[in-house]
Amino acid sequence: MRYVDKYASQVATFCEVCHTLAKRLYVTGHGGNLAWKLEDDLILITPTRLNKGEVEADDVVFARLSGEKVEGRRNPTGELPMYVNFFRERPDIVSVLHCHPPMTGAFAITKGKNWLMRPLFPETVTEVGPVPVVPYGEPLTQRLADAFLPYLPKYNAFLMENHGLVIMSRGDIGWTLMNTELLEMTSTTILQAALLGDIKEIGLADVRNLDNIMRTRELPLMGAPGVNKSLVDLYFPAQGA
């Protein structure tokens, strides 16, 4: 049985996420790509040179974690080396999404403070976590893929300098899309709040208390298992947990 038939339900969801990204202008032209690990050594990934609003079931590609294509009439995205690194270095991760949401993208090109590293909303703190800036690398290169390596153990979302957003999760591709939407709304509100004056953060004690929410909702901490002990580790590393 072909993988596209075996995983028909997942393929349908995958295509729907592609279409949603295009409708919301989180991707334009041929930009953006996404991948979903369906088996230990099988990923569903977007094809190269196709608008995400046009992706259908017969366009998707299946590949091994080595980068070898195993099924699909198209070639996989040229960012495949990036995804190979992600799934190799973070075996806990199930799905990854790269896109260019405009408000979040503003933080990828600013020389100012990266407010996405700070605790501002409980939902963003507990579901996305801090979002560091990964140094610029030429698209479609191993250099870009390797630029993520120092950041992968600790975080689940990343601003690609002068490029866009990468976000990953231990959930399916639909869950990762919801986190993308949450982050974009956070970015939108930050930029609006900046027009009004100073921005308020959630304090250390209240961030520590948000660990209770993590336990109640059974949310995993960002980063590889065991790397971070609490949200305080992520947002106030000098203070300790």
**Which pLDDT tens digit goes with each residue over 126-179?**
999 999 999 999 998 899 999 999 999 999 999 999 999 999 999 999 999 999
Please work out, in degrees rounded to the nearest 5, the angle formed at the alpha carbon of residue 56 by the alpha carbons of 47 and 78.
Answer: 5
Average pLDDT over every residue of 34-59 = 98
Q: Going by C-beta distance under 8 Å and a sequence separation of 6 or more, which residues neighbour residue 221?
A: 129, 214, 228, 229, 230, 231, 234
**Which pLDDT tens digit goes with each residue over 5-22?**
999 999 999 999 999 999
Strands 157-160 and 133-134: parallel
| pLDDT exceeds cutoff 60 at 241 | no
Residue 25 tokens read as 């202008």
The pLDDT value given to residue 134: 98
Q: Is the pTM of this model over 0.75?
A: yes
The pLDDT value given to residue 238: 82
C-beta of residue 187 within 8 angstroms of C-beta of residue 202: no
Class of domain 3-235: alpha beta
Please work out, in degrees rounded to the nearest 5, the angle formed at the alpha carbon of residue 126 by the alpha carbons of 123 and 127.
Answer: 80
The pLDDT value given to residue 140: 85
| pLDDT exceeds cutoff 70 at 240 | no
Q: Which residue has the tokens 């896109």?
A: 99
Q: Going by C-beta distance under 8 Å and a sequence separation of 6 or more, which residues neighbour residue 212?
A: none
In whole angstroms, what is the distance from residue 140 CA to residue 171 CA? 26
